[in-house]
Structure 1
Amino acid sequence: MRRFLTVISAALLVLVAPSAAFAGPGKGADKRADKATSWYLALGDSLAAGYQPGAGDDRAGGYVGGVLDALQASAPKAKLRNISCSGATTTSMLGTDRCTYEAGSQVAAGVEFLKAHKDKVDLVTIDIGANDVTPCVRAADQVTCALTVLGTIQTNLTSILGQLRAATGPDTQIIVLNYYNPFLASWLQGPEGQQLAGLTSFLQTLLNNTVSAAAATVQADVADVATAFRSTDTTPVSTAYGTIPTNVATICAWTWMCTKQDIHANDAGYAVLAATVSARLS
């Protein structure tokens, strides 16, 4: 267990690694905005930023790029504005983030953009909260830590979504993503790792329930990433790692956790995220 917790700590460092500073749109971006028929605004953490180990952020790729492609099927001139930030938490999104925003915070930048394009934004997506609760994996009392943090997430995410909804036009759709559980990979480490996998599954459920509750306050849609990643399916399946539960095999196949001890989705995982969000488009 001690060895695996060391791996977990390394993964946590990757999760909160700083991304490049994000500046507000310049005059050229404003001119492009005037010509855009509609917009897709993406907010969130490193998943929204399309982070890949060794490659960094790709704000035009990841799941966001796939969602834009799907949106353009019905809105061919839709453009992307991605203001996400790797390492973001619900608290940093409301205040000082690792990225730099002319408006002061990621939420303020989002609200500013929505107000400037009030009748031209078709879609807003957001994933946030994992970086708040993930440190509880290494806490002495994981459950107590998680319950405390989840209260903060509930308050912050409700505020974030409320501010975004208040700034949108009546036809703007907001989709909130819930999360897969990368720490299911600990199952491969034997009995102690399997105990940790069970604990993190419990934390995942609490986090995703909190996300859903906050989304309901503004009638936002929820993209059920947890189900798409087969998070509760423990059916044995044969893999290169031996016969393991389906949910563990899925994490190994769709994230970098089993090969690089990195929690982020790989290309296949981002494609699943994109499809999950796209299925909620109205």
Structure 2
Amino acid sequence: MRRSDEVRSAAVRDFLGADVVRRVLTLVIASIFALVAPSAAIAGPGQGADTATSWYLALGDSLAAGYQPGVGDDRAGGYVGGVLDALQDTAPKARLRNISCSGATTTSLMGTDRCAYEAGSQLAEGVEFLKAHKGKVDLVTIDIGANDVTPCARPSIDVACALAAVATVERNLTETLGQLRAATGPDTEIIVLNYYNPFLAAWLTGPAGQQVAAVSGFLQTLLNGAVARSSATVGADVADVATAFRSADSTPVATAYGMIPTNVATICAWTWMCTRNDIHANDAGYAVLAETVAARLG
């Protein structure tokens, strides 16, 4: 059994044996803002910079930064670390440059962010790195867009706001990917991650929460559709995290909470949402993200 499989299996066992904790709908909605957790300074020049023969450049938000509650960012871990391991199977001297920033939106990635960049923005930093290492970057990954949409759930889900935010994501991500592709050329693989839906956990709070879960599923579909369309403009691959997290599977499954939908159970097992009201992936979830990206490596 692979290490990532062991991590996921342990998480599922822990979940199925967990005590039922109190769920309050307002806390579920409030947890939307966890993605904007403070971030440490950006990663340095990269692991093994002196001996690198190729590079992996990672951009994005707190998922790319490997954030976990109570721990903070881990730019060498999270899903990015797992992707690097997979890349090194065929490119053993590949090294990582992770310039992601917790709390980043598609707008802040292109401009002023909470993280400091010599080039002025995360995107500009990435473009400069790609130009400086022309022909030596094997892989670029990016996950971005969730933080554009989450403010539209303050204090409840505002669909009109979310629709406008998704349009912004598509416009900005298309521009971002266009600049990255222009800096890399056609031979560098670009993989864009779509998103799982942590707010399915609201289903556990009862009828009102189940309505929230249904609406959040609709918004997830819209956001991931924008990600797919933007990716297609530059021939980027999409790592289908939504499917890996069984987002559309409502088949009932037996858990410590009783019979609940599979997609809800998956969120409980692979994120901190059902135990700490935090939307970020746990070790098992990050392993799933890493394997989903690794499956797209050419």
Residues 78-157 of structure 1: matches in 2 within 5 Å? Answer: 78-138=94-154, 142-157=158-173
Q: Distance in 2 between matches of 1:138 and 1:201?
A: 17
Residues 255-274 of structure 1: matches in 2 within 5 Å? Answer: 255-274=271-290
Counterpart check, 1:14 vs 2:14? no
Q: Is the 8 A contact 2:157 2:212 kept in 1?
A: no
Match of 2:78 in 1: 62
Match of 2:267 in 1: 251
Q: Which amino acid aligns with 2:103?
A: G
- Equivalent residue in structure 2 for 1:215, among 221, 231, 240: 231
Alpha carbons of structure 1 residues 13 and 134: separation in structure 2 relative to 1, 3 Å? closer
The superposition leaves residues 53-91 of structure 1 with CA deviations (integer Å, 9 ceiling, x where unpaired) of: 000000000000000000000000000000000000000
The Cα of 1:273 is off from its aligned counterpart by 0.3
Q: Is the 8 A contact 1:178 1:223 kept in 2?
A: yes
Unmatched segments (≥5 aa) in structure 1: none
Match of 2:207 in 1: 191
Following TM superposition, where does structure 1 have runs of at least 4 consecutive aligned residues deviating by more than 4 angstroms?
none
The Cα of 1:221 is off from its aligned counterpart by 0.2
Unmatched segments (≥5 aa) in structure 2: 1-22
The Cα of 1:4 is off from its aligned counterpart by 1.2
The superposition leaves residues 99-155 of structure 1 with CA deviations (integer Å, 9 ceiling, x where unpaired) of: 000000000000000000011000000000000001222366621111111111111
Q: Distance in 1 between matches of 2:97 and 2:43?
A: 12
Alpha carbons of structure 1 residues 141 and 78: separation in structure 2 relative to 1, 3 Å? closer
Q: Distance in 2 between matches of 1:197 and 1:263?
A: 14
The Cα of 1:15 is off from its aligned counterpart by 1.3
The Cα of 1:24 is off from its aligned counterpart by 6.1
Q: Distance in 1 between matches of 2:281 and 2:294?
A: 17
The Cα of 1:34 is off from its aligned counterpart by 5.1
Q: Is the 8 A contact 2:43 2:97 kept in 1?
A: no
The Cα of 1:240 is off from its aligned counterpart by 1.2
Q: Distance in 2 between matches of 1:160 and 1:19?
A: 21
The Cα of 1:200 is off from its aligned counterpart by 0.2
Q: Which amino acid aligns with 1:22?
A: I
Q: Is the 8 A contact 2:57 2:96 kept in 1?
A: yes
Q: Is the 8 A contact 1:23 1:101 kept in 2?
A: no
- Equivalent residue in structure 1 for 2:257, among 220, 223, 241: 241
The Cα of 1:14 is off from its aligned counterpart by 2.1
Counterpart check, 1:75 vs 2:95? no
Q: Which 10-residue stretch deviates more, 70-79 or 142-151?
A: 142-151
Q: Distance in 1 between matches of 2:58 and 2:145?
A: 15
User: What percentage of residue pairs aligned between the two structures are identical?
Assistant: 77
Q: Is the 8 A contact 1:121 1:169 kept in 2?
A: no
Match of 1:40 in 2: 56
Q: Is the 8 A contact 2:59 2:142 kept in 1?
A: yes
Q: Relative contact order (alpha carbons < 8 A, sep ≥ 6): 1 or 2 greater?
A: 2
Task: Give the number of aligned pairs.
Answer: 276
